[in-house]
Amino acid sequence: MRKYIFDVDGTLTPSRKKIESEFAEFFLEFIKNNHVSLVTGSDREKTLEQVTPEIYNSCKRVYNCSGSDVYEGDLIVYRNDWELPKDVERFLQDELDFSQFPIRNGNHIERRPGGVNFSILGRDPDPMLGRKEYISWDTIHSERKFISLRVMDMFPDITVALGGQTGIDIGPKGADKSQILRDFDKTDDVHFFGDMMNEGQNDYPLAMAILDNMMGTVYNVEDYKETWKLLLNI
């Protein structure tokens, strides 16, 4: 059976923003005629805000927090209540203190079911404050990459992946997006759309698991417009 899996941020929506209205209408019709699930590093509240409740509740399942918080409509199917170890939290605080990036924007450790998102920039109260500046900074200095490497070196039981454009997803070993394949059969024809499929990014583990197990096709898209174009030709 053909089954579709979509990342959200950057794949169905502009980064950190709500789904574009015309595409939302198209995508809702696509959901009605196909087996569609979503997988995102964000929590349920943020995902609802980005894709709208109608789209969220129309999907077969929504795998929030990289698959550690799973919903069918309003029904919780699965939740991993992992807590960030104190020594890892202290390490992240040291990284925050060490960083030379000058802008700070609220909460730097966003706790989610099954993991956290760590951001030098921070995530509240204005999600766009300093965002462009940090993306440029990280492109030059590869700060997130080097923090991720240090975390993995210091804490081998921790899974780390670049999440979005400013954060790092951190959780227990195995709690990456590939864990959602527990709900799929190896005979399924899976089509996965994501925008973060390079090694070290948070769509990479699921993309590689699909390809390694010969379960289907992956599409590394530039943005929601490319997703839309591809779906028009399916």
> Which pair of tokens denotes residue 189?
């024809």
Answer whether residue 128 shows pLDDT above 90.
Answer: no
Numbers of helices and strands, H then E, in the chain = 8, 11
* Mean pLDDT to the nearest integer, 150-177: 93
62-90 tens-digit pLDDT: 999 999 999 999 999 999 989 999 999 99
185-227 tens-digit pLDDT: 999 999 999 999 999 999 999 999 999 999 999 999 999 999 9
Helices 86-98 and 143-154: crossing angle in degrees, nearest 10, is: 150
Domain termination site, one of 152, 172, 192: 172
Pair 104, 63 in one domain: no
Answer whether residue 19 shows pLDDT above 80.
Answer: yes
* Mean pLDDT to the nearest integer, 12-16: 92
Tell me the residue range of the domain where 198 lies.
2-80+175-232
The C-alpha atoms of residue 180 and residue 206 are separated, in whole angstroms, by 8
Q: How confident is the model at residue 125 (pLDDT cuts 50, 70, 90)?
A: low
Residues near 218 by Cβ (< 8 Å), separated by ≥ 6?
191, 192, 193, 194, 197, 207, 210, 211
Q: Is 228 exposed, middle or buried (0-12, 13-18, 19+ CB in 10 A)?
A: middle
Q: How confident is the model at residue 126 (pLDDT cuts 50, 70, 90)?
A: confident
Return mean pLDDT, the chain.
Answer: 95
Residue 76 pairs in a beta bridge with 71
Residues near 123 by Cβ (< 8 Å), separated by ≥ 6?
105, 106, 107, 108, 110, 117, 166, 167
Q: For residue 105, what is the domain's CATH number?
A: 3.30.1240.20
Of the listed ranges 30-44, 73-87, 120-134, 220-234, the one predicted with least confidence:
120-134
Q: For residue 37, what is the domain's CATH number?
A: 3.40.50.1000
Pair 129, 206 in one domain: no
Answer whether residue 124 shows pLDDT above 80.
Answer: no
Q: What is the pLDDT of residue 78?
A: 96
Report the number of distinct structural domains present in the chain: 2
Closest CA to 47 of 25, 70, 30, 31: 70
Pair 181, 76 in one domain: yes
Q: What is the pLDDT of residue 23?
A: 98
98-122 tens-digit pLDDT: 999 999 988 999 999 999 999 999 9
